[in-house]
Amino acid sequence: MSDVDKDIEILTLRHQLAVVQRQIDRPRVTPADRAFLAALLHRLPRVRLRRLHLIVSPDTILRWHRDLMRRRHADASRRERPGRSPTRRTVQALVLCLAREHRG
Q: For 64-81, b where at least 16 C-beta lie within 10 A, e where not — what string?
A: bbeebeeeeeeeeeeeee
Q: How far apart are CA 39 and CA 71, in angstroms?
A: 13
CB 64 within 8 A of CB 30: no
Number of domains in the chain: 1
Host domain of residue 84: 3-101
Q: How far apart are CA 46 and CA 72, in angstroms?
A: 23
Q: How far apart are CA 81 and CA 61, in angstroms?
A: 33
Q: What is the pLDDT of residues 47-90, one digit of tens each?
A: 888 887 777 788 888 888 888 888 888 877 776 767 787 889 99
Provide the 3-class DSSP secondary structure of residue 33.
helix
Q: What is the pLDDT of residues 33-58, one digit of tens each?
A: 888 888 888 888 888 888 877 777 88
